[in-house]
Amino acid sequence: MATGSSSPCSIAFLLGLYSLFFSLFICWTQAAHLYSSEDPVTILHSGTVKQTLQNSSSAWLVQFYSSWCGHCIQYSPTWKALAGDVKDWEPAIQIGVLDCADEKNFDVCKEFGVHFYPTFRYFKARNNKFDLGKPYRGANRELPTVRQVMVNFLQNHSQEEWPPACPPLESSRSSDVLALLGKKKQQYTAVIIEDENSFVGREVILDLMQYDGLTVMRALGSDASLLEKLGILSLPAGYLFHPNGKHELMKVHKTLRFFFSSFLKLLPGVRRRKLQSPRSSDLAVQEGDAAATVWKEFDKSKVYMADLESGLHFLLRIELASHQTLEGKELETFKDFVTVIAKLFPGQQPVVKLLETLLEWLVSLPLDRIPYDAILDLVNNKMRISGMYLTNKLEWVGCQGSQPALRRYPCSLWTLFHTLTVQAAERPDALANTGLEENAQAVLQTMRRYIGSFFGCQECGRHFEEMAKESMDQVTTHNEAVLWLWRKHNTVNNRLAGALSEDPQFPKTRWPTPDLCPACHEEVEGLHAWNEKEVLAFLKRHYGASNISPKYTAGPEEGTAGGQEDKEPSEQKPGWEDPKYGAHSPKSPYLEKLQGKERQEEGIGLHKEAKPGMSFLGLGFSNIDLSLCVLMYVSSGLFLMIMFFFFRMRSKRWKVRHNRFSI
């Protein structure tokens, strides 16, 4: 941090700020995810998820979430409440979470086929094979509904799969219940009598499974003789058999699960069993799981290229990775998306060149399905084409949040599309000869299709699609497209104001705020109103190329540029410099495979060589390729010369014979 004064007061003030920022930094590193070790959930990660789920003594319900997903953030209290509510069920079924936004978990989320967040999967107990789990697709994710689905899932276990610690959940026969009358036993026996569709009995059984001195059963109230002999007038009801042979109706305030369970846990001699729970949170939580994040000073009146490039990095290398193969409508959507960003992105030349090369490559391929790994190889520049580069680090500036789970990628995506709509309005000829030049909705429709196909937050995608259906078709000019996206962004801000996904340091409010654009705000009959002419002018200034700051932007050689200290490669985050993902790895088997297929179908291909060569139309040609071209050129020239002299001599001989004949 720089300062213009060296007085003792200034130094003391700066030391105070440093202490404050250091304290905030500690808080941020402790809140990198939506769940912590203090929550009643098992936190899984790439190093523990398989060994935890495979051949487990209990079943599992796992939520694959993303810490930036607004719906995941809002749902996290419900998930924590659910885990706390069924904590006593852990020997039978456990609650787990895995953050797919964590760099360490990208590959495992891809392996499990997680495309949207949150994704819920059930995993059976005692399964010694790798399993992707059974998805829960129910629209109702309220706590009681999910709890009942957990009970049903347990009952779907076969006898061989049944969790060893889980008691039977099937209903007992009336004769077995009546046989307990007057019998002395060493412990209590409680029977919940209920309707066939009731879950109270099974939930109480699971609530008491870790308690000694008690056996809990359930019976159906369809047998009138059972109800008559036990004196039961309404369902559900509880009946208690004492060890001394006494029996009676359970006297509870309300015939609900909580009251039954609490009554039984308070019986004399009933104690929680001292049993080592199969929870594996100690294995699942790694030290240093929260990435260290240093706050960056920024000007809110500026757009930062670091945010845009970090968004592209996350989009191309992380979010898209959940789709192993692109084909059909997904491939068309991705091609249109790359077309829009390649033509309109106002970035650094190495980034623009990479986007243009990716576009040329997609357009030239005659394939109707492309593996994602081939796209990743090109984004990582495994063809070693000089002069193109996209940062492989997440460097949030204007989109950084007061907590690591807030803002970030969703903010950068909004910023990217705002920038693209403005660029389309300012450069109407940029999309010429792409098939999108006559469409004022080109950027908006591309954004809509991308969010529907690839954006991880499925709930967010549904909300955006609802807004698009409502009024996107009414956009007829590029300026209207700019204003449409601004209006809808404010609509989203208004809907999420006060929600858990809102950053307290960056409250969701009407934007632009009066301090950024005082002329944008008016008052009509005592009510706030927008001056949309001024708003449009502001948006064009704010998202224009001249207002994009290069500060904190990373370059291909140095760690950062534009005011941030350079870092050695060894200091960068692990995982993105691995040879598997490195931007300068000399091997690209996926591009090589596509190259061979393309040669077979069209006779053209991407030429790949370990040594750098020449770039032509975005495709790399090695020295061998160039030598072959020269050889073919020389051979073709010699062949044409030979043919020329051959036909010339033949023509002369024909003329001589013809003239002699005439004579």
Give the type of residue at 238.
G
3-class DSSP state for residue 517? coil
For helices 328-344 and 442-453, angle between their N-to-C axes, nearest 10 degrees: 130
**The total number of residues written for the chain in this structure:** 663
Segment 296-302 long-range contacts (CB within 8 Å, at least 24 positions apart)? 296/396, 296/397, 296/400, 296/552, 296/564, 297/1, 298/397, 298/398, 298/400, 298/551, 299/549, 300/398, 300/516, 301/516, 301/542, 301/547, 302/398, 302/547, 302/548, 302/549
Strand partners, 249: 239
Question: What string of H, E and C letters represents the secondary structure of 4-18?
Answer: CCCCHHHHHHHHHHH
> How far apart are the C-alpha atoms of 323 and 14, rounded to whole Å?
48
Q: Is the peptide bond before 507 cis (omega within 30 degrees of 0)?
A: no
Contacts of 476 (CB under 8 A, 6+ apart): 440
Whole-number Å distance between alpha carbons of 56 and 122: 12
- Burial track 55-78 (b if 16+ CB lie within 10 A, e otherwise): ebebbbbbbbbbbbbbbbbebbee
- Rounded-to-integer distance, Cα 410 and Cα 286, Å: 26
Cα distances (angstroms) measured from residue 132 to each of 49, 96, 109, 124: 11, 14, 10, 11
Tokens of 210: 């870790």
Q: Determine the Cα angle at 493 with ends 487 and 496, to 5°.
A: 145
User: Alpha-carbon Rg of the chain, whole angstroms?
Assistant: 34
Take residue 650 and report the two structure tokens written for it.
């033949």
Report the distance separating Cα 598 and Cα 577, nearest Å. Answer: 30
The verdict on whether omega for the bond into residue 236 sits within 30 degrees of 0, i.e. cis, is yes
Angle at 405 between CA 400 and CA 411, to 5 degrees: 45
Distances (CA, A) of 291 to 7, 102, 395: 35, 9, 12
CA distance 563 to 276: 53
How big is the CA angle at 426 (ends 423 and 428), to the nearest 5 degrees?
90
The residues annotated with a catalytic role in the active site are 69, 72
* Contact call for residues 368 and 327 (beta carbons, < 8 A): yes
447: its two tokens: 């954004």
CA distance 575 to 103: 7
Beta bridge partners of 446: none
Angle at 150 between CA 147 and CA 155, to 5 degrees: 135
